[in-house]
Structure 1
Amino acid sequence: MSETFDTIPDDAVLSGRATDAYFDRTVEALEGAGRNPHVVAEVTADQFPDGEFEVFAGVKDAAALLEGRDLDVHALREGRAFDGGPVMRIAGDYLEFARLETSLLGYLSHASGFASAALHARRAAPDSNVLSFGARHVHPSIAAVVERSALLAGLDGFSHVAAGDVLGREASGTMPHALMLCFGRGNQEAAWRAFDDAAPADVPRVALCDTFTDEKDEVLRAVDALGDDLDGVRLDTTGSRRGDFEHIVREVQWALDVRGHEDVDVFVSGGLGPEELRDLRRVVDGFGVGSAITDANPVDFALDIVAVDGDPVAKRGKLGGVKQVYRTADGAHHVGLADRPGPTDGTPLLEPLLKDGELVREFDLADATDRCLADARRVDY
């Protein structure tokens, strides 16, 4: 354990210590009985397709957890939309991975939930600049998971600095209400100028314009204060004060245009979800989306043994036998037995990830994003 924060260290995860207690009991029982069967286990959320697609994410961390162990693993590509059936298949002696199930499902479930929610935001405003602003709503140890999932789903950037260090991307953001409040009412111009003086040249000059007075008033004051240096304004008006937010934004846009400042972008944030993005995308240039992503439920994955020593098995309510999943020409998801022919127009989606414990796949976030957005269009996400 960390001596300061309640976080689980990497070595505890890799050693299998980050597990549910009953897996320890299972290992003890099997070892005591001298049993270690060869099994095939599958990770699934739903057994059959139901038309509700989700986005598969967390594969990179899952691969790092399983790498180096005597296992063969097949999985969907990250960013793939899925609807029923397995997203991952693990073959090997059960004791090789028994204690890893808890962490494996955590990696896949949380990231897939974030990515699925982020894709709903992306699809709601496909032509707008959409940033992930939700890291403050999650434990800081998983901020990079949130931001990677957001990028995977096609969002244009994120706000968390340390996540950027992990991902090799620069975080985005300009000023919070705290900066405005530190200068005080009537001194908004001083706050905007202080930001302009201190921020690096490559940081867009986006002024927050809703702290003390009417949004239009503060926007026009920001224009006067920063002149041609002003790139945009952000409205983060709390929901209790918004009224008709679209009308407020249109009024601000009109005030800018009539004064010859139509090149100043309007960016909005503050509790926005896909519905608000659809309503506002015609009148704003960009969005910050937070809780709509971080409040997403983790995808309810389970790992189940479906074959033992070559024989199909299943617990009640689950489907025994080794399976394959397919994307058909009409964009549908199909589940079938792996040793039977699939649909004539189907593309198999479970592909090799590890062979004898060796990673046989590379992870490229840009490729995963392209796959995610193409799949979203294909399945009408």
Structure 2
Amino acid sequence: MMRENRQLSLRAEDYSLLTDLYQLTMGACYAGEGIDLKRASFELFARKLPDRFGYIIAMGLEQALDYLEQWYFTPSQIESLQATGIFAGAPARFWSILESGRFSGDVWAVLEGTPIFPNEPFLRVEAPLWQAQLVETYLLNTLNYQSLIATRAARMRDVAGEKAKLLEFGTRRAFSPQGAMWAARAALAAGMDSTSNVLAALQLGRKPSGTMAHALVMAFGAISGSEDEAFAAFSRYFPEAALLIDTYDTVAAAERLAEQVKRGERKVAGVRLDSGDLAKLSQKVRSLLPQATIFASGDIDEWAIAQLKRENATIDGYGVGTRLVSGKPVNGVYKLVEIDGIPTMKQSSSKETYPGRKQIFRHQNNRDRLGLASETPTSEEKPLLELVMQQGKRIQERDSLDEIAARVAASVASLPQETRQIDEPQPIKVEISSGLQQLKTEVEQRLEQESCR
């Protein structure tokens, strides 16, 4: 009987098994048929953007490269696979390549923080077929999720403006503890100011931020009968923290705090509003506590921020959680585009792909051309896919979160307004180069001839 591990924690040495079963069964098939070492190229891209998105911010490359550098199979992992009985018919060669395997391929990728559009590759993996196949699941997981968070964060920053404080509060709503860590990282890399996730903040070299919860006010209220005692106690230990003032009556709480400030009994650095008519409440609180920083939270997203600004809300910062770390995913896919030098493509209805190794050529006037990797950019174009890993080793310096955030800000600001808008955005049209279109036609003709044999 197989042993059960109920903790389900993830360690770096577990990375190789964090994959879908069919990656391993295909790897066994490749080994059995003697094609496992054929050079293969896979590209990761999204066929379309999530609903109401005008672009995707590429994110997650850092963790993808970490994964590839640490990817290998231990003897105990191989024993566990054998114990399942699923691979009873697998060839001996399959086990030998797992035993000797570390990722030895090359990776081309767009830099984190770069806006991309449908059919444009986030990255391309060029490696022995069995390796390129087995890493698919993890690459999709990290790039799809972090790119979703980064895109939402970039849109919120764009709507809120440079001066607004944006705090990531999504840990309790993220889909998993690992997802919460990635969400915090992607949000910071896309321009948010801080995260409430203590572990993520400290691991990323940042200071965590947060306020207080209703429980503190309710606890003091039950014991002493006073909301003000809760504020006073919290401020004694954390004088610069914002006070949550909507547990009972927001305006009444603000009025009492204003009187205490006037009498010189306390200072109020900031307050947080978590419910009610946030625009009207913020205006009233501003009139009572003009020096306090006003934060708003409670199902905040880019549309909510835009609406609050239209209503002339006097809000200095936003705490965003649920609607940042959840939602419709970036539906990135990972497809074989070349094997042993032979370009290939998928022809399924509505899921057709372009063959061959590709490059994104970004024109300085906000036009993209998707072409073959062998094509040459014009004097007004910049190729976006860069060689970031060679023979399994990184060849570029790691970007800091601040560098990535600066790239996001500059890139989003350079996009047309109709692409940046949050209502009915218009993505940049991606031109298909004549060389890529010609290759597609040639591959289609070849596949048609083969199917008629």
What is the TM-score with the length of structure 1 in the denominator? 0.90
| 2:154 aligned partner | 119
Structure 2 counterpart SS, 1:79: coil
User: What is the distance in 2 between the residues matched to 1:79 and 1:129?
Assistant: 20
8 Å contact from structure 2 (residues 35, 129) kept in 1: no
Structure 2 counterpart SS, 1:314: coil
Alignment of 1:1-381 (within 5 A): 3=5, 5-13=7-15, 16-36=16-36, 37-46=38-47, 52-67=54-69, 69-84=103-118, 85-126=120-161, 127-138=163-174, 139-184=176-221, 186-199=225-238, 204-213=240-249, 215-225=250-260, 227-237=265-275, 242=276, 244-256=277-289, 262-281=290-309, 282=312, 283-316=314-347, 317-363=352-398, 364-380=400-416, 381=420
Deviation of the 1:46 alpha carbon: 2.3
Kindly provide the CA deviation profile for residues 65-117 of structure 1, in whole angstroms up to 9, marking residues without a partner as x. 12262111110000111113111011121112322111111011111111111
Kindly provide the CA deviation profile for residues 31-89 of structure 1, in whole angstroms up to 9, marking residues without a partner as x. 111212111111111289x9931100010010111226211111000011111311101
User: What is the distance in 2 between the residues matched to 1:323 and 1:313?
Assistant: 12
8 Å contact from structure 2 (residues 126, 132) kept in 1: no
User: What is the distance in 2 between the residues matched to 1:51 and 1:191?
Assistant: 42
Deviation of the 1:193 alpha carbon: 1.2
Deviation of the 1:10 alpha carbon: 2.4
Structure 1 counterpart SS, 2:387: strand
Question: How many residues in Structure 1 have an aligned counterpart in Structure 2?
Answer: 364
Deviation of the 1:225 alpha carbon: 4.7
8 Å contact from structure 1 (residues 325, 333) kept in 2: yes
User: What is the distance in 1 between the residues matched to 2:367 and 2:266?
Assistant: 51
Deviation of the 1:325 alpha carbon: 0.3
Structure 2 counterpart SS, 1:278: helix
User: What is the distance in 1 between the residues matched to 2:202 and 2:241?
Assistant: 23
Structure 2 counterpart SS, 1:184: helix
Aligned-residue CA RMSD (Å) = 2.1
Deviates more, 1:362-371 or 1:224-233: 224-233
Deviates more, 1:172-181 or 1:39-48: 39-48
8 Å contact from structure 1 (residues 175, 207) kept in 2: yes
8 Å contact from structure 1 (residues 323, 338) kept in 2: yes
| 1:259 aligned partner | none
Deviation of the 1:379 alpha carbon: 1.5
User: What is the distance in 1 between the residues matched to 2:366 and 2:284?
Assistant: 42
Kindly provide the CA deviation profile for residues 256-298 of structure 1, in whole angstroms up to 9, marking residues without a partner as x. 3xxxxx2112111111111221232451111111112111333
User: What is the distance in 2 between the residues matched to 1:159 and 1:374?
Assistant: 26
Structure 1 counterpart SS, 2:122: strand
8 Å contact from structure 1 (residues 353, 360) kept in 2: yes
8 Å contact from structure 1 (residues 111, 298) kept in 2: no
User: What is the distance in 2 between the residues matched to 1:51 and 1:155?
Assistant: 19
Deviates more, 1:132-141 or 1:224-233: 224-233
User: What is the distance in 2 between the residues matched to 1:94 and 1:22?
Assistant: 14
Which segments of 5 or more consecutive residues in structure 1 lack a partner in the other structure? 257-261
User: What is the distance in 1 between the residues matched to 2:4 and 2:157?
Assistant: 36
User: What is the distance in 2 between the residues matched to 1:188 and 1:223?
Assistant: 14
Structure 1 counterpart SS, 2:361: strand
**Larger radius of gyration between Structure 1 and Structure 2:** 2
8 Å contact from structure 1 (residues 326, 349) kept in 2: yes
8 Å contact from structure 1 (residues 122, 155) kept in 2: yes
8 Å contact from structure 2 (residues 260, 266) kept in 1: no
User: What is the distance in 2 between the residues matched to 1:100 and 1:220?
Assistant: 58
User: What is the distance in 1 between the residues matched to 2:32 and 2:121?
Assistant: 31
8 Å contact from structure 1 (residues 73, 352) kept in 2: yes
User: What is the distance in 1 between the residues matched to 2:325 and 2:241?
Assistant: 27
User: What is the distance in 2 between the residues matched to 1:370 and 1:356?
Assistant: 30
8 Å contact from structure 2 (residues 42, 132) kept in 1: no
8 Å contact from structure 1 (residues 38, 92) kept in 2: yes
- In structure 1, give the amino acid aligned to 2:251: K
Structure 2 counterpart SS, 1:293: helix
Deviation of the 1:346 alpha carbon: 1.2
The alpha-carbon distance between structure 1 residues 162 and 3, as it changes in their structure 2 partners (threshold 3 A), is farther
Deviation of the 1:7 alpha carbon: 3.5
Q: Which has the higher contact order (CA 8 A, sep 6+)?
A: 1
- In structure 2, give the amino acid aligned to 1:253: R
Deviation of the 1:341 alpha carbon: 2.7
User: What is the distance in 1 between the residues matched to 2:111 and 2:200?
Assistant: 23
Q: Percent identity?
A: 28
- In structure 2, give the amino acid aligned to 1:39: A
- In structure 2, give the amino acid aligned to 1:270: G
Deviation of the 1:340 alpha carbon: 2.0
8 Å contact from structure 1 (residues 45, 301) kept in 2: yes
Structure 1 counterpart SS, 2:334: strand
